[in-house]
Structure 1
Amino acid sequence: MLSAALQAEMLAVARAARAAAYAPYSSYRVGAAVLGEDGRIFGGCNVENAAYPEGVCAEAGALSAMVLAGVRKARAVLVVGEGPHPISPCGGCRQKLREFGQPDQFLVLAVNENGQPQQWTLEELFPQSFGPEHLSKG
């Protein structure tokens, strides 16, 4: 469970990221905020490309910022799109998030434009997922 203050901070980061999104083709801007295990919050936005589907999702951008900062584990993600309906991470992003968090503990928050959240664990959104431990040689 994340405190209301931490959720508000993540929402502010995700909204700022969404404002910077590059979405000239779909006109659908998305922002994400990933909470690293060290407590820092990393933002990312979607970046579209004329050569569909070569764009980058907001969650992937936030994870890249986290990794660049030297953090290798995450606790949560908050995703915000435009309009009245909350959006959850796409399938590809669910797999990317899985790389950095424990499915039963990693929180996924989807927030609509008005700030109304829905919340799941990654395991609820992505059951029986494939992760790093499957490749362990030990």
Structure 2
Amino acid sequence: MREDYADLVQQAQRAAETAHAPYSRFRVGAALLFADGAVVTGANVENASYGLSLCAETVAVARALSEGRRGGLVAVAVTSPDADTISPCGRCRQVLNELAALDRADPLVIGAGEGGTRQWRLSHLLPDAFGPDALSGKEGEG
């Protein structure tokens, strides 16, 4: 793994330490690397109404968008100290795709845990992704 991605994984690990996971005890951290070198992190936030819980990747994407980031996603690291290896769930793959699609990026996704790391391209994890173009043949507006 490239050294800069090792740092990205470490930032995701630090984010996992702030997870609010009182029900599952499954802590997850995510770190998004952008082309300008900025990193935005997130941790999962559980809710007693389970459907309202937020995954770490979703929190990180929401933070990035609320900071005005509209493209430039290079890599994503997701990790959990409570798993051997991890990858984004289906919902998070879709959320990441929406951000990546803003500039037609295909970011590297790094899954890390106690059992090591794996790497994929987002397009491999979510082939034939649903996106703004599918809504009416028009690109989404941001």
Provide TM-score, normalisation by structure 1. Answer: 0.88
Contact kept, 8 Å, 1:77 with 1:109, in 2: the verdict is: yes
Contact kept, 8 Å, 2:74 with 2:105, in 1: the verdict is: no
Contact kept, 8 Å, 1:13 with 1:42, in 2: the verdict is: no
Quickly say closer, same or farther: Cα 1:82–1:10, change in 2 above 3 A.
Answer: same
Give the superposed CA RMSD.
1.9
Quickly say closer, same or farther: Cα 1:49–1:32, change in 2 above 3 A.
Answer: same
Other structure's SS at 1:38 match: coil
Q: Distance in 2 between matches of 1:105 and 1:16?
A: 25
Q: Which runs of 4+ in 1 moved over 4 A?
A: none
Worse overlay, 54-63 or 125-134: 125-134
- Does residue 122 (structure 1) correspond to residue 122 (structure 2)? The answer is yes
Other structure's SS at 1:88 match: coil
Structure-1 residue corresponding to 2:97: 98
What is the Cα deviation at residue 24 of structure 1? 0.3
Q: Distance in 2 between matches of 1:35 and 1:94?
A: 16
Structure 2 unpaired stretches of 5+:
none
Q: Distance in 1 between matches of 2:92 and 2:63?
A: 15
Structure 1 unpaired stretches of 5+:
none
Number of residue-to-residue matches in the alignment: 135
Q: Distance in 1 between matches of 2:138 and 2:16?
A: 40
What is the Cα deviation at residue 84 of structure 1? 5.0
Write out per-residue CA displacement over residues 10-67 of structure 1, whole angstroms, 9 at most, x where no aligned residue.
1121011100000000001000001123321110000000111210000011111211
Contact kept, 8 Å, 1:37 with 1:71, in 2: the verdict is: no
Structure-1 residue corresponding to 2:108: 107
**Equivalences for residues 63-74 of structure 1 within 5 A:** 63-73=61-71, 74=73
Provide TM-score, normalisation by structure 2. Answer: 0.86
Worse overlay, 34-43 or 51-60: 34-43
Q: Distance in 2 between matches of 1:56 and 1:84?
A: 18
Contact kept, 8 Å, 1:38 with 1:71, in 2: the verdict is: no
> Percent identity at matched positions?
41
